[in-house]
Structure 1
Amino acid sequence: MRNFSKLALAALLIGTSVPASAAVTICLGGGCAAQPDSNVLLNTGQTGTSVQGTLNNAPGTVTLTSTESLSLPANGAARVRATDGILNNPLTFSFDDGLISALEFNINALTDGDVFFTFAGGDSDGQVTSLYDIGSNGQNFFNAFNGTFKSVTMTFGDGATVQDVRQFRMTAATPMAAVPEPATWAMMLFGFGAIGFGMRRRRSDTLRVRFA
């Protein structure tokens, strides 16, 4: 009975445990991390608060959204800007067909300021970074890696205005096999313990009858 109580307590602890999470890592500058394996391709002619593109080395589509109208000034390598030429509202990059494990892009700023990033989905869901400086020199490369995420929103502040965001590259995360939730493990452990306890009790009853 004592062992069964210990087993029940272990199951309870597993059932109430919180799954571990990983935080995405940000580094600054082109080449500060291994380059993602796919270029994001956008085709000119799209406008609106949402535009889409594809990957050159993997299936799937990406979507860029903002509260202001966006436009794509050129075919090929991804480059997105505001229709009025000045992007200063948040811009969200999303992968429509899974999770992202690595992302690189270049913020081509018109004026100095700062930016922070908000991640959604994957094991980086809800992560908000600190502020990063961006300069009006046209070279503000950022790399996000180590964690997985569905989308990232870049929010500009402190006077930052952006001509465009360009040179998007990304790696799609490899789908992982489903892992039982902690509560499921707890139920399985509790069930196995109950079966073992029942078998042991029946065996004891049988022995008492045999030697009575």
Structure 2
Amino acid sequence: MPISKQAMLAGAATVAGIFSFAAPAEAAVILCYVGGNAQPQCANTNVNVLVDQQTGDPVTAGDNDATTNVNYTFTSTTEALLKQVASGQADVASGDADGALQQISFNILNGAASLITFNLIPLGPQATIDDATSVTVSIAGQDPVVISGLAPNGQNFYGIVATAGEQLTGLSFGNFSPAGSGIQALNQVRLNLVPAPAVPEPGTWALMLLGFGAVGTAIRRSRRRNANTLLQMA
């Protein structure tokens, strides 16, 4: 069946729209703050990550929304064991003898978030190593974020937020400063989960295929015209 010009144009427009959506002009993943006066403040989250007193590496976790069906893990490259403390604060700490975390990653296995907030618990006076005063947060596909001025007592609430539609699938905390320092626990991880991308309807797929066909046809015709022009000039 012949393809109408209108269908070809619609398909080409669909393809162009997909490519333009896939590449935001000004992507940015930045640090935000939970409470206090520092700006920007983190927005609200929609799920809390929950732990259940596992010891191991990795350790798994869920959340407080039974409808999400999203799973999480915590892993470490420096600790032989991680230890979860389900005390209402959802701590993940080192299970090693020194009780100090020097690297920890939080991973969203089958979902993504636009915001992840967390609390970095300091070691306190009983520690055998120094409390960290800064940490580097690594984010897949993005520039790392450095958090400075960690308090040696109390709480250190922060967040990482995607400001241009990026999807966060985890955070990795490491390169603590000063060298050899660490924290006691990663605590109260909360997220703003984002919906999974919608699967295109069959009609949309058809328009996409028509669009690719239209683009290919236009390229072939352009090449033929150029070839004919060169022959005539010769």
TM-score w.r.t. length of structure 2: 0.64
2:58 match: 50
Aligned to 2:103: 90
Q: How far apart, CA to CA, are the structure 2 residues paired with 1:145 and 1:36?
A: 11
Match of 1:193 in 2: 218
User: Deviations along 1:150-207, whole A, 9 cap, x unmatched?
Assistant: 1110112215321111111112221224699xxx99955532525887xxxxxxxxxx
Q: 1:138 offset after TM fit, Å?
A: 2.4
* Equivalent residue in structure 2 for 1:129, among 133, 139, 145: 145
Between Structure 1 and Structure 2, how many residues are aligned?
179
Q: 2:71 aligns with which of 61, 68, 81?
A: 61
Which residue does the alignment assign to 2:10? none
The 1:188/1:134 distance shift into structure 2, 3 A limit, reads farther
- Paired amino acid for 1:55: D
The residue that corresponds to 2:45 in the other structure is 36
Query: Aligned-residue CA RMSD in angstroms?
Result: 3.5
Q: Supply the distance in 2 between the matched residues of 1:131 and 1:167 (Cα, whole angstroms).
A: 17
Structure 2, unpaired ranges of 5+ = 1-15, 124-130, 223-234
Residue identity in the other structure for 2:75: T
Q: How does 1:101-112 map to 2 (within 5 A)?
A: 101-110=114-123, 111-112=131-132
SS of equivalent residue, structure 2 residue 106:
strand
Preserved CA contact (<8 Å) 1:81 1:165: yes
Which residue of structure 2 lines up, in the alignment, with residue 113 of structure 1?
133
Shift of 1:112: 4.2
- Whether the aligned pair in 1 keeps the contact of 2:122 and 2:183 (CA below 8 Å) is yes
Q: CA deviation at 1:41?
A: 0.6
Measured in 1, the distance between the counterparts of 2:168 and 2:109 equals 11
- Pair 1:186–1:154, CA change in 2 (3 A): farther
The gaps in structure 1 that reach 5 residues or longer are 1-13, 198-212
Between the aligned partners of 2:122 and 2:213, the Cα distance in structure 1 is 55
TM-fit CA distance, 1:105: 0.5
What secondary structure is seen at the aligned counterpart in 2 of 1:94? strand
Q: Give the drift of 1:131.
A: 4.5
CA contact (8 A) 2:46 2:192 kept: yes
- The answer to whether the 8 A contact 1:108-1:139 is kept is yes
Question: C-alpha distance in 1, partners of 2:192/2:75?
Answer: 20
Kindly state the Cα deviation for residue 86 of structure 1 after the two structures are TM-superposed.
2.8
2:192 counterpart SS class = strand
Give distance in 2, aligned partners of 1:167 and 1:59. Answer: 19
Superposed displacement of residue 19, structure 1: 3.3
Contact 1:119–1:149, Cα closer than 8 Å, also in 2: yes
Q: Does 1:173 align with 2:177?
A: no
Report runs of 4+ in structure 1 exceeding 4 Å deviation. 184-189, 194-197
Aligned residue among 141, 154, 166 for 2:173: 154
Calculate percent identity across the aligned residue pairs.
26
Counting strand residues as a fraction of each chain, which structure ranks higher?
1
